[in-house]
Amino acid sequence: MTYLTIDHAQTLLTDLVAMDSINPMGGPWTRPSPVEHNVASYLANLFHHPGVEVVSQPVSERHENLVVTARGHTDAPALLFESHMDTVPADDWADRALVPRVEGSILYGRGACDDKGPLVAMVLALLELLESGSPEKTVVFVAAGDEEYAQTGIRHYMTQTEQPFQFGVFGEPTRNVPVVQHKGVVRWDITTLGVSAHTSQPDLGRCAILQMMRVIEAIGRYQEIAEKRHPNPMMTGPRITVSRIDGGRTRNAVADRCTAWIDYRIMPGLDPMGQRAALIEHLAALNVEIEHAEPQVTVPPLNTSVDDPFVNQVLDACTAVSGRPIKPTGAPYGTDASWLPTGVPAVVIGPGIIDHAHAIDEHVDLAEVVQCAEIHLRLMRGA
């Protein structure tokens, strides 16, 4: 029996997409079990094999991980394979998002691409590996929770494990091309402080919204500076996005406060907090009264060297499976790969296209899922 078939991929992915594992993204949560519980329970039932340890790992009241460990014949560092179980909301197509449909080899539904397609690829590879007995080296498969909001799943796992790793493979939609570098991120709130006054005499006050306009203009100028300082041939330069603004209290009063949400994408090789500090110093020259809140999220970039032997091993596997030369690439987004211990090489790879993630009618090609499973299997066997 082989698990590396489109039929097996379709069965597993159809079942998983139909399960609601939508992350509340920090919003209210009233359910009795974690976001990922149904998916984790389903996956746990697949791995009733001798020598395989399956552990449900609570992360918080809202989230959990599933950790599957297939013990190898040696004491060498383990091989880590990780994909996440949670998805983003689907309010804009709720009528069909959790009703998977297949057209040809394309499967549609929330999470099909991000991240249940990559998750299924790892599951199929591990099931296929176990069919031939226990692996040479220990393989650890982590189905993680809460990647979409705060990455608490992988962060919790890394604080709990004492297992050394030879490398890490992280599932995200990359069209089965290995991503070896990606940006990190730091997010925080900036608040400008003004002085309230009646709008009939605005000169008696100081408008925090106008102050914020100056701050935003300065952020744009700073991004241009940062792009020149930190070019990268694999991806676009640093990106600083103002994703939301709130200001003012009433229609007839000068705004005394204005808050902007900042999303700063950090280049590989740089420290997010250091880059945040540099931007704060730049804004201080405006002579605007600004408060900087503590970061809500801080995620380091991925910075695996293209010359690392593991990268060559991944490229060989991808080339052998696809039948065409494959080169490593970079990505502007972040992933759980950021949290692998320093010195352990990591790649991000999976079926699907990132453009389809988080979108209406999200989808993935089942043939790509199987192809990715074949790549994973080669890495599990050949490391």
Average pLDDT along the chain, 383 residues, taken 10 residues at a time:
95 98 92 96 95 96 97 94 97 96 97 97 97 92 96 97 97 98 97 97 96 98 96 96 96 97 97 97 96 95 96 97 95 95 96 94 98 98 78
pLDDT given for residue 158 in this prediction: 97
Evaluate whether residue 118 is within a structural domain.
Answer: yes
Residues spanned by the domain of 200: 184-299
- Tell me the CA distances in angstroms from 261 to 215, 264, 294, 295, 353, one per residue in order: 12, 10, 12, 10, 28
Domain end residue (candidates: 299, 315, 347): 299
**Residues pairing with 66 in the sheet:** 56, 143
Domain end residue (candidates: 249, 280, 299): 299
Specify whether the CB–CB gap between 196 and 254 falls below 8 A.
yes
C-alpha 37/C-alpha 56 separation (Å) is 9
pLDDT given for residue 383 in this prediction: 57
Q: How many Cα atoms occupy the beta-carbon half-sphere of 344 within 13 Å?
A: 19
Answer yes or no: do 353 and 222 share one domain. no
pLDDT given for residue 295 in this prediction: 96
Specify whether the CB–CB gap between 140 and 53 falls below 8 A.
no
Answer yes or no: do 250 and 336 share one domain. no
pLDDT given for residue 1 in this prediction: 77
Q: The whole model's pTM is what?
A: 0.93
Answer yes or no: do 270 and 214 share one domain. yes
Answer yes or no: do 154 and 135 share one domain. yes
Answer yes or no: do 37 and 105 share one domain. yes
Answer yes or no: do 244 and 258 share one domain. yes
Domain end residue (candidates: 273, 299, 325): 299
Find the farthest-apart pair of alpha carbons in the chain and give their distance in angstroms, rounded: 81
Instruction: For residue 271, report the phi and psi dihedrals to the nearest 5 degrees.
Output: -95, 120
Answer yes or no: do 172 and 200 share one domain. no
Answer yes or no: do 23 and 141 share one domain. yes
Answer yes or no: do 147 and 195 share one domain. no
